[in-house]
Chain A
Amino acid sequence: MRGHRGRSSTARAVMGLVAGVVSVAALFVCPAAALAQEETEAVPADSLPPLGPPTAVTATDTPNDRGYSINVTWELSDGEETGRVTSYRVYRSAHPETGFVFAGRAWPGNAEYRDGGAPENAPTYYRVSATDETGAESFSATSEPAVALPAWFNRDRVNVMIAVIIFVAAIIYFVTAARRGKDLFIRRLAGLDEVDNAVGRATEMGKPILYISGLSTVSDVATIAAINILGEVAKKTAEYNTRLIVPCADPIVMAVEQEVVKEAYAKVGRPESYNEDDVFYLTRSQFAYVAGVNGIMVRQRPATILYMGMFYAESLVLAETGASVGSIQIAGTDAVTQLPFFITSCDYTLIGEELYAASAYLSREPVLLGGLKGQDTLKMLIAITIIITTVVATLASVGVIQYDFMTPFLETQ
Chain B
Amino acid sequence: MTLTFIWTTVGALLTLCVYSFLYKDNPFYKFAEHLVVGVSAGYYLVIYYFNFIDPNVVRPVFQLELGGEAVAFGGTEWWMALIPGLLGLLLYTRFFPKIAWVGRWPLGIYVGGYAGLGISPVMQARVIDQMQAASSPLAGVPDPFAAATNAALGFAIFVVLTYFLLVKRHIVARGIAMSIGAVVLSAVAGYGGYVVLSALSAQGVVSMTNILLVVGLLGTLAYFFFSMRHAGLLGGLARIGIIFLMVGFGASFGYTVMSRISLLIGRVSFLLTDWLHLI
Contacts and interface: CB of A to CB of B under 8 A. Distances in A.
A208 to B, nearest CB: 17
Contacts of B170: none
A336 B33 contact: no
A125 interface: no
Nearest to A227: B111
Contacts of B135: 386, 389-390, 393, 406-407, 410
B111 A256 contact: yes
Chain A interface category by residue count? 35 or more
A354 interface: yes
Contact of B253 (A160, A344, A352): A344
B129 interface: yes
A292 B91 contact: no
A288 B37 contact: yes
A160 B123 contact: yes
A390 B138 contact: yes
Contact of B128 (A160, A187, A219, A379): A160
Contacts of A219: 114, 118
B120 A393 contact: no
Contacts of A357: 226
Contacts of A184: 227
Interface in B202-232: 214, 217-218, 221-222, 224-230
A285 B250 CA distance: 29
Given A164-B120, A255-B107, A344-B253, A387 B218 contact: yes
A336 B115 contact: no
B18 interface: yes
B249 interface: yes
Contacts of B21: 294
Contacts of B30: 295
Contacts of A167: 123
A393 B134 CA distance: 11
Contacts of B104: 259
A252 to B, nearest CB: 6
Interface stretch (A51-59, A233-241, A396-404): A396-404
Nearest to B36: A288
A382 B40 contact: no
Contacts of A380: 225
A221 B115 CA distance: 8
B140 A398 contact: yes
Nearest to A284: B44
A9 B1 CA distance: 68
A389 B131 contact: yes
B68 to A, nearest CB: 16
Interface in A118-145: 120
Contacts of A159: 128
Given A159-B128, A382-B127, 12 more contacts: A163-B127, A185-B228, A224-B115, A255-B94, A294-B21, A295-B33, A336-B252, A340-B249, A379-B221, A385-B131, A397-B141, A412-B124
Interface of B: 18, 21, 24-25, 29-30, 32-33, 36-37, 39-41, 43-44, 75, 91, 94, 103-104, 107, 110-111, 114-115, 118-120, 122-124, 127-129, 131-132, 134-141, 214, 217-218, 221-222, 224-230, 245, 248-250, 252-253, 256, 260
Interface of A: 120, 157, 159-161, 163-164, 167, 184-187, 189, 218-219, 221, 224, 252, 255-256, 258-259, 281-285, 287-289, 291-292, 294-295, 298-299, 313, 316, 336-337, 339-341, 343-344, 351-354, 357, 361, 372-373, 375-376, 378-380, 382-383, 385-387, 389-390, 393-394, 396-399, 406-407, 410-412
16 contacts: A159-B128, A160-B123, A185-B227, A189-B226, A221-B115, A255-B103, A285-B36, A289-B40, A316-B260, A339-B252, A340-B253, A341-B253, A386-B131, A389-B135, A393-B135, A396-B137
